[in-house]
């Protein structure tokens, strides 16, 4: 018993919407949304009720081991049951697809898109799990584990057992940032380097070179979706939710296209030496520290919270209907 990953997979499915926080008085949403994209791939989202970052995590299952990309923004298992969820997903999958012996030998690799706190906080829940490697956070540790000989230029592979992923170093947002491409599903996982939101560029030269390598990787491949780790844009083109928002009823879709990836690449080159915020329909590029824009975000969040207070919402809808 095993899965033949060489047979082209049927299209996976993304849900019509993700958990996105709740208004006060509404029923609570799950702490962690679990979505089977296809029979061998899980997308998880952490609740905005626990962390406004609400990051996405990815679990890709192969015949010998699984890869978990990122561990979320919260360490406390009571508020973020990551270990329990991953254990039960792996159990469910191995029971369905593998022999008892293969299931008993099954391993887990925990790696990270990058080492910012909202992507690694759940690590302690998985450290010490039997058959599990938790990859470290530094360039050195990432290089050693994946075997990069010429970081960040040479791509690497990770074989999960019949399911081989491309692993690409894409520094620029973070020094040890990685992207993963899964040929079976056509999913390109881009972490915080490309997602529908504020793309914080710490090293513009490296970021532009990383985007070039990402785009080059996609050439000649059937990429279905570019998937990052957050959603900060709303459905209104060019409009983001303020930093810190805990309720996003009209958020943009998670998935981005190759065309949008090319737009990020073009923007990265165009604004390589122009610090500041550069706004596009499906993402904003924040080049450099952008301190004033950060302060403005804090102001926007206060205004946003006031606007959504129940009493002000009622007043706004009454004035809109002329009551
Ligand atoms: Zn992040």
- How many whole angstroms from 306 Cα to the centroid of ligand 1? 26
CA of residue 195 to ligand 1 center, whole Å: 10
Contact call for residues 132 and 105 (beta carbons, < 8 A): no
Pairing of strands 178-182, 187-191: antiparallel
Phi and psi at residue 90, to the nearest 5°: -65, -40
Q: Hey, which CATH number is domain 32-289, 3.40.640.10, 3.40.50.720, 3.60.15.10, 3.30.300.30?
A: 3.60.15.10
How many angstroms does the Cα of residue 88 sit away from the middle of ligand 1? Answer: 25
Note the pLDDT of residue 16: 94
Mean pLDDT across 7-34: 91
How far is ligand 1, taken at its centre, from the CA of residue 116, in Å? Answer: 6
**Residue 310 alpha carbon to ligand 1 centre in Å:** 30
291-307 vs 310-321: helix axis angle to the nearest 10? Answer: 70
Residue 308 has pLDDT above 80, yes or no: no
User: In degrees to the nearest 10, what's the CA dihedral of 57, 234, 210, 60?
Assistant: 20
| Cα(104) to centroid(ligand 1), Å | 34
Cα 181 from Cα 300, distance rounded (Å): 36
CA–centroid distance, 274 to ligand 1, in Å, is 23
Distance 47 CA to ligand 1 centre (A): 14
CA distance 242 to 251: 12
153 alpha carbon – ligand 1 mean position (Å): 23
* CA 151 to ligand 1 centroid distance, Å: 22
Q: How far is the CA of 242 from the centre of ligand 1 (A)?
A: 15
pLDDT confidence band for 9 (50 / 70 / 90): confident
- Residue 292 pLDDT exceeds 60: yes
Read off the pLDDT of residues 102-155 as tens digits, 9 standing for 90 and up: 999 999 999 999 999 999 999 999 999 999 999 999 999 999 999 999 999 999
Mean pLDDT of the chain: 94
Q: Using the mean position of ligand 1's atoms as its centre, give its distance from the Cα of residue 318 in Å.
A: 38
How far does the centroid of ligand 1 lie from the alpha carbon of residue 204, in Å?
18
Residue 319 phi/psi, 5° resolution? -70, -30
Q: Kindly give the distance from the C-alpha atom of residue 43 to the centroid of ligand 1, in angstroms, as a whole number.
A: 16
The pTM assigned to this predicted structure is 0.94
- CA 167 to chain centroid, in Å, comes to 15
Give the span between the Cα atoms of 93 and 64, in whole angstroms: 12
Q: What is the mean pLDDT of residues 202-229?
A: 97
- Which residues neighbour 70 within 8 Å (Cβ) at sequence distance 6 or greater? 55, 56, 57, 58, 112, 113, 119, 120, 191, 229
Distance between Cα 70 and ligand 1 center (Å)? 10
């Amino acid at each position: 018993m095993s899965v033949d990953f060489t047979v082209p997979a049927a299209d996976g499915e993304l849900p019509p919407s993700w958990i996105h926080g709740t208004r006060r008085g509404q029923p609570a949403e799950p702490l962690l949304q679990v979505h089977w994209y296809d029979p061998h791939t899980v997308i998880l989202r952490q609740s905005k009720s626990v962390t406004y970052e609400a990051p996405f995590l990815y679990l890709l299952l192969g015949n010998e081991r699984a890869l978990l990309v990122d561990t979320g923004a919260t360490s406390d298992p009571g508020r973020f049951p990551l270990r329990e969820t991953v254990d039960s997903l792996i159990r469910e999958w191995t029971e369905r697809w593998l022999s008892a012996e293969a299931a008993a030998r099954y391993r887990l690799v925990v790696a990270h898109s990058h080492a910012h706190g909202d992507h690694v906080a759940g690590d302690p829940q998985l450290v010490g799990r039997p058959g599990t490697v938790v990859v470290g956070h530094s360039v050195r540790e990432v290089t050693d584990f994946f075997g990069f000989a010429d970081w960040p230029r040479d791509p690497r592979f990770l074989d999960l057992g019949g399911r081989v992923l491309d692993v690409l170093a894409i520094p620029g947002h973070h020094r040890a940032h990685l992207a993963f491409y899964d040929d079976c599903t056509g999913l390109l996982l881009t972490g915080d380097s490309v997602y529908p939101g504020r793309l914080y560029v710490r090293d513009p030269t490296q970021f532009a070179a990383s985007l070039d390598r990402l785009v080059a990787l996609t050439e000649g491949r059937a990429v279905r979706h570019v998937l990052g780790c957050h959603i900060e844009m709303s459905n209104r083109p060019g409009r983001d939710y303020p930093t810190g928002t805990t309720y996003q009823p009209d958020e943009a879709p998670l998935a981005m296209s190759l065309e949008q990836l090319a737009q990020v690449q073009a923007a990265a080159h165009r604004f390589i030496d122009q610090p500041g915020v550069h706004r596009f329909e499906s993402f904003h590029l924040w080049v450099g520290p952008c301190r004033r824009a950060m302060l403005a975000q804090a102001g926007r969040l206060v205004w946003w919270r006031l606007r959504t207070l129940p009493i002000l919402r009622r007043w706004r809808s009454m004035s809109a209907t002329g009551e």
